[in-house]
Amino acid sequence: MPRKIVVLDTTLRDGEQAPGCSMNIQEKLEMAKQLERLGVDIIEAGFPVTSPEDFQAVQQVAQTIKNATVTGLSRAVRGDIDRAYEALRVAENPMLHIVIATSDIHLQHKLKMSRQQMLEKMSSAIAYAKTLCPLVQFSAEDAFRSDPAFLLEVLNEAIRQGATSLSIPDTVGYATAAEVQQLVSYLNENLINRQSVRLAIHCHNDLGQAVANTLMAVSAGADQIECTINGIGERAGNTSLEETVMALHTRKAFYQCECGIKTKQLYRTSKLLSTITGIGVAPNKPVVGANAFAHEAGIHQHGILNNRATYEIMSPSDIGIPESRVVLGKHSGRHAFIERLTELGYSIHEKEMDAAFEKFKQLADRKKNITDRDLEALIGPFAISIPETYTLDAFVINSGTIISATAVVKLIRDGIAYEQVARGEGPIDAAYKAIDQIVNNGYHLDNYSIQAITDGEDALGEAIVQIRKEDDIVTGRGLSTDILEASIKAYINAINKTLIS
């Protein structure tokens, strides 16, 4: 019988710490719901003590999620633990997660503690956490640069104090697969009451080894993997959930393991995260990249036409990639629209469905045929409920090689129209300056990109913008067959996010 591997997803905590990947509370909540649909066992929702917003996000996720354990990170400090438990106590199945470093370099230069001081601090923290919550995980930060004998001493003390799971993070992505195998095997053989605790692996990707090291840990006997969607995370990122899960799924006979992840939700989860953060995946990224199932070389195409297994070890349908077939047009009704979204696995509220159907009809007036890729692009924003404080009513742009770009933009807020005109270095710059004159919220454009996300002359264009005020960076997304309209909508979307109280 295959061994069950527990999956902890830390997209909302470790992943969100990556530059440009910050999410507001509503975005975290929508991402958590999708992670629940994906079938992850544990959702790490945040670090509650860091800010009131992070506390609220963890609390709302804890209130909403019913089919997964919800955890929040704490340092080995009573105030952190109290704050985390206050946020998590409303969860169906809460877990406190306590972390402290065990490597000498961290003890000396960051914590400024002796090994004995650290051991006492950790022991006291876990004992206290155990009085609040039956599930307590301990993570030994920088485990792979720690003295193995001391690490074992620390982990055994954590077990004595009631820890139910132990994580050994490769915090800086330093370990090799051979070292992972050696340490996991050593701990498996020497931990006290080994069968009473889960042993977890948490890898970073600084040397591109995170997925390989995680899989090696599983082979060596680890019970739990800790990952993020699209591998997002600090520096070079974390272990990619979709790559690790599909390796276990595709090579099940080799690993003799299984997990509860619903693989047909992987593509959709990846797309949702890209929509939220505005950060797409590389075309050649394994599993969810645009080229993962593309074949250009003639010899490959010949093999694929005869038998897909010649060059594909996974099926696109295994991860939920929809077929790009024409199913809808401007004469299609609401029922057909909802039915196709359901077939694609989307579930949105009635109010958002009304708005999505209206957008679909508008798109159908511009495009003759609507493909599944069009629908996925269209429905993305409606999976995240962002109140539209400002809406675009109209715009006029004049631009050329012999005239200055000029934009007139009219926005609606609370039923009142606001209109401004501005000049800029180009049509988009002019439009954004006109919007700034209306909104005047102190944010400025930090990054801008646009790409075609569907095929053909009438392809949908997706604009992604990031706006900044001091250290606060907000991402906006806009979609249209008109790239100027997409760009304006993206800017307005970002502005509306800044106005969420």
Tell me, letter by letter, the H, E, C secondary structure of 358-406. HHHHHHHHHCCCEEHHHHHHHHHHHHCCCCCCCEEEEEEEECCCCCCEE
pLDDT at residue 321 in the model: 79
Tell me, letter by letter, the H, E, C secondary structure of 71-130. EEEEECCHHHHHHHHHHHCCCCCEEEEEEEECCHHHHHHHHCCCHHHHHHHHHHHHHHHH
Distance CA 479, CA 477 (A): 7
Distance CA 100, CA 420 (A): 54
- Output the pTM of the full model: 0.83
pLDDT at residue 470 in the model: 84
pLDDT at residue 300 in the model: 47
- 391-498 has which fold? Double Stranded RNA Binding Domain (3.30.160)
The tens place of each residue's pLDDT in the chain, 501 residues long, gives 889 999 999 999 998 887 777 888 988 999 999 999 999 999 999 999 999 999 999 999 999 999 999 999 999 999 999 999 999 999 999 999 999 999 999 999 999 999 999 999 999 999 999 999 999 999 999 999 999 999 999 999 999 999 999 999 999 999 999 999 999 999 999 999 999 999 999 999 999 999 999 999 999 999 999 999 999 999 999 999 999 999 999 999 999 999 999 999 999 899 889 888 888 888 899 999 888 876 544 544 446 556 667 767 888 889 987 654 445 666 677 777 777 777 666 667 777 778 778 878 877 777 766 776 677 767 766 666 677 899 999 999 999 888 899 999 999 999 999 999 999 999 999 999 999 999 998 899 998 988 877 666 667 788 889 898 887 888 888 888 889 999 999 999 999 988 875
- 3-277 has which fold? TIM Barrel (3.20.20)
pLDDT at residue 471 in the model: 78
Give the DSSP H/E element, type plus range, for residue 463. Answer: strand 461-469
pLDDT at residue 499 in the model: 86
Comparing C-alpha atoms, which of 60, 33, 35, 65 is closest to residue 46? 60
SS3 of residue 263 by DSSP: helix
Q: Residue count of the chain, please give it.
A: 501
SS3 of residue 410 by DSSP: strand
**Residue 387 neighbours by CB distance under 10 Å:** 10
SS3 content of the chain, % helix, strand, coil (to 5): 45, 20, 30
Cβ neighbourhood burial of 465 (10 Å; 0-12, 13-18, 19+): buried
